[in-house]
A and B are shown apart, each in its own frame.
Chain A
Amino acid sequence: MAITYQQDEKKRYTRRFFRQLPGRTALYTIMILLSLVFGLPLIWMISTSLKTGPEAFRVPPDFIPNPIVWMNYVNGLTYLPFIRYIFNTLVIAIPRILGAVAVSALVAYGFSRIEWDGRDTLFFICVATMVIPFAVTMIPLYLMFHHFGWVGTYLPLIVPSLFAEPYFIFLLRQFFMGIPQELSDAARVDGSSEFMIFWKIILPLSKPVLAVVALFQFMWTWGDYMGPLIYLNDPNKFTVTLGLYLFGNSWRGATLDRYTWFMAAITTMTLPVLIVFFLVQRTFIEGISLTGLKG
């Protein structure tokens, strides 16, 4: 009895497998083709970055470089002072990350863990400000920083993020709301101040989401082009993106090799973001999905 049942089950499973086979094959074929289409630009970037100059410009092109020229990376990163650019970018990124993690968390705490009149109205305003086009605030902010004498320094890129950013407030608030209220109540009974509750209870419990916020901020600062373009004019103060931009526009009359150096520089500057993403993919995607669903 039991045996026939198992055989039946097995037969049914096999039948289903074969019935689904064409569909499955089609699905995986489509997925692999699409991945190639979406991955092609980056594959091509890496491929070019390892070629000799003449090979990079050859038609028909090779996908696998022969020979593989690792020296492109050395030349690409020393042609312009990229170590300095990385350092400059970190000088901007670190305070921005601290601002995102500490200040935005503080504000998110005020919007989620304390009950007060007008809180939800103000939070609505906070979220609504995300829709304001940057084009409107860009010019007055530039003029304001110009007036302060900050143009040409990193301050315009750092200071605004020390006053909490709506996107992070939103993300952190969502997370804080999920922490049981009893934890705060118990601490209040013990006489803890609100700040101590924030510091000693809520923040330690929020490490995963704080990490996501820090990574978001890092990636945005690393890739930001328009901010540095507007505010930085001294090449010694350039960030990675401005360095690449300078490099990308500087090969008129250059050798073919320089192009492969440039691709090596681009690859190097793209990699940190990709590595960070693959390390924390799941939490990261959850963070993005959260915005869409609850927003």
Chain B
Amino acid sequence: MTTVIQKKRISWTPRRRKNLVKGLLFISPWLIGLLVFTIYPIGASLYYSFTQYDVVRPPIFIGIENYVDMLHDDVFVKSLYNTLYFAFLGIPGQLAIAFTLAVLLNQKMKLRSLFRALFYIPVLVPVVASAFIWHWLFNVRVGLLNYLLGLVGLGPYPWIADPTWAKPSLLMVHFWVCGGAVVIFLAALQDVPTSLYDAAKIDGANSWSQFWFVTLPLCTPAILFNSIMGVIETFQIFSIVWILTRGGPNNSTEFYVVYLYRNAFAYFKMGYASALAWILSLIILGCVFLLYRTSARWVFYGGEQY
């Protein structure tokens, strides 16, 4: 790649120069935006993470103190645990549910687009609305969930009112909003060439081995994509939690970004919040990098050659 570019640079014609100027002019809004709204904030955030900054007074440089403080901060440790719990159950769980739904939708059926729309709707509902709807469903005394479960002799369950139940309850809401992944899985499934299934049938493959050896490998790029999206989403879950539980009861749903937000905009500890943000970014980027690096071993990019 680099050699190609270097070779090109030798013949630096006026036309090429003109195109470069034109191209840069067209993308200049994004370039300016990148500098002002992305690169500068990243640099500033790194600087703030080494300071004590309450917005009113100018930042005071305190070295790595914020990072050291984290180790002794019980709420931080709790929020990290909560977030990891949520991610480790939430990401694979949502992938499995979304994939199952996509496989079902991929069957020959009438009204497919209607069913697909129904699964996608929870993604579209504004988060404030879905939070309050679930709040109503979770109501211990008059909530619909406890009523329906009561019909089959279960419950009543405390849902978000109880520290041990709160996280699983939020996971349930998270699984309800899996439509984005469903749509992407379905697109991947529909892209599997029928010729491959025909070939597998000739080789005597039953439907299970067709699924295992044809469908699944060709869906691995979509699995990678949805896993990365899952990492970015679950590690930064905020709005739904802030409205539904505010981190409670007893900090059982105090997730990472909830605690970060609290530090920044309730306690005005901008320095500490920035340090939190950096650790979170390292975790997220680490996970994304790990997925990406191992993807060579389990992601199959063979779709195009058929």
The finding on whether chains A and B are genuine partners in a shared complex, rather than unrelated, reads: yes
Question: In the complex, which residues of chain B have a beta carbon less than 8 angstroms from the beta carbon of A140?
Answer: 40-42, 44-45, 48, 274
Q: Does B205 contact A (CB under 8 A)?
A: no
Within 8 A of A (CB), among B126-170: 126-130, 132-137, 141-142, 144, 147
Q: Does A155 contact B (CB under 8 A)?
A: no
- With CB as the reference atom, state the residue of chain A lying closest to B276: A135
- With CB as the reference atom, state the residue of chain A lying closest to B285: A131
Measured in the bound complex, the distance between the Cα atoms of B19 and A179 in whole Å is 19
Q: Does B192 contact A (CB under 8 A)?
A: no
- Segment with Cβ contacts to A, from B67-75, B85-93, B179-187, B193-201: B179-187
Mark A122-163 against chain B: 1 for CB-CB distance below 8 A, else 0: 100110010111111111111110100000000000001011
Question: In the complex, which residues of chain B have a beta carbon less than 8 angstroms from the beta carbon of A213?
Answer: none
Q: Does B36 contact A (CB under 8 A)?
A: yes
Partner of B144, one of A44, A109, A138, A160: A44
Main secondary structure of the interface of B (DSSP, over half): helix
Measured in the bound complex, the distance between the Cα atoms of B123 and A285 in whole Å is 12
B147 & A133 in contact (Cβ 8 Å cutoff) = no
Give the shortest distance, in Å, between B230 (CB) and chain A (any CB): 12
Within 8 A of B (CB), among A3-42: 27-28, 30-31, 34-35, 38-42
Q: Does B204 contact A (CB under 8 A)?
A: no
Q: Does A79 contact B (CB under 8 A)?
A: no
B129 & A269 in contact (Cβ 8 Å cutoff) = yes
- Segment with Cβ contacts to B, from A66-74, A90-98, A204-212, A240-248: A240-248
A163 & B36 in contact (Cβ 8 Å cutoff) = yes
Number of interface residues of B (CB under 8 A): 94
| A266-B133 in contact given A136-B41, A163-B32 (Cβ < 8 Å) | yes
Partner of A143, one of B29, B107, B184, B270: B270
Q: Does A223 contact B (CB under 8 A)?
A: yes
Question: In the complex, which residues of chain B have a beta carbon less than 8 angstroms from the beta carbon of A129?
Answer: 34, 38
Give the shortest distance, in Å, between B5 (CB) and chain A (any CB): 7
Q: Does A64 contact B (CB under 8 A)?
A: no
A117 & B147 in contact (Cβ 8 Å cutoff) = no
Question: In the complex, which residues of chain A have a beta carbon less than 8 angstroms from the beta carbon of B288?
Answer: 131
Question: In the complex, which residues of chain A have a beta carbon less than 8 angstroms from the beta carbon of B36?
Answer: 163
| A34-B23 in contact given A44-B133, A135-B236, A141-B41 (Cβ < 8 Å) | no
Q: Does B30 contact A (CB under 8 A)?
A: yes
A248 & B37 in contact (Cβ 8 Å cutoff) = no
Partner of B122, one of A38, A141, A164: A38
- With CB as the reference atom, state the residue of chain A lying closest to B235: A133
B257 & A135 in contact (Cβ 8 Å cutoff) = yes
Number of interface residues of A (CB under 8 A): 88
B270 & A292 in contact (Cβ 8 Å cutoff) = no
Question: In the complex, which residues of chain B have a beta carbon less than 8 angstroms from the beta carbon of A109?
Answer: 26
B133 & A45 in contact (Cβ 8 Å cutoff) = yes
| A139-B125 in contact given A107-B26, A129-B38 (Cβ < 8 Å) | no
Q: Does B284 contact A (CB under 8 A)?
A: yes
Mark B3-36 against chain A: 1 for CB-CB distance below 8 A, else 0: 0010011000000100110111111011111101
A38 & B128 in contact (Cβ 8 Å cutoff) = no
B38 & A133 in contact (Cβ 8 Å cutoff) = no
A31 & B109 in contact (Cβ 8 Å cutoff) = yes
Measured in the bound complex, the distance between the Cα atoms of B16 and A286 in whole Å is 35
Question: In the complex, which residues of chain B have a beta carbon less than 8 angstroms from the beta carbon of A278?
Answer: 117
- With CB as the reference atom, state the residue of chain A lying closest to B131: A248
Q: Does A226 contact B (CB under 8 A)?
A: yes
A241 & B128 in contact (Cβ 8 Å cutoff) = yes
B184 & A248 in contact (Cβ 8 Å cutoff) = no
- With CB as the reference atom, state the residue of chain A lying closest to B256: A135
B144 & A61 in contact (Cβ 8 Å cutoff) = yes
A295 & B45 in contact (Cβ 8 Å cutoff) = no
Measured in the bound complex, the distance between the Cα atoms of B239 and A229 in whole Å is 10
B23 & A110 in contact (Cβ 8 Å cutoff) = yes
Q: Does B119 contact A (CB under 8 A)?
A: yes
Mark B218-230 against chain A: 1 for CB-CB distance below 8 A, else 0: 0001100110100
Measured in the bound complex, the distance between the Cα atoms of B57 and A268 in whole Å is 44
Measured in the bound complex, the distance between the Cα atoms of B241 and A278 in whole Å is 28
Give the shortest distance, in Å, between B24 (CB) and chain A (any CB): 7
A58, A135, A263, A285: residue with the most chain B Cβ atoms closer than 10 Å: A135
Measured CB to CB, the residues of A under 8 A from B are 27-28, 30-31, 34-35, 38-42, 44-45, 48, 57-61, 103, 106-107, 109-111, 114-119, 122, 125-126, 129, 131-144, 146, 160, 162-164, 166, 169, 194, 198, 219, 222-223, 225-226, 229-230, 240-241, 244-245, 248, 262-263, 266, 269-270, 273-274, 277-278, 281-282, 285, 288-289, 291-293, 295
A to B CB contacts below 8 Å, 12 in the list: A38-B176, A118-B20, A132-B281, A135-B236, A137-B38, A138-B277, A140-B41, A226-B238, A245-B243, A270-B129, A288-B184, A292-B225
Measured CB to CB, the residues of B under 8 A from A are 5, 8-9, 16, 19-20, 22-27, 29-34, 36-38, 40-42, 44-45, 48, 55, 101, 104, 107, 109, 113, 115-122, 124-130, 132-137, 141-142, 144, 147, 176, 180, 183-184, 186-188, 191, 221-222, 225-226, 228, 232, 235-236, 238-239, 242-243, 256-257, 260, 264-265, 270, 273-274, 276-278, 280-281, 284-285, 288
Closest 8 CB pairs of A and B: A110-B26, A163-B33, A292-B184, A223-B126, A289-B187, A116-B23, A140-B41, A140-B44
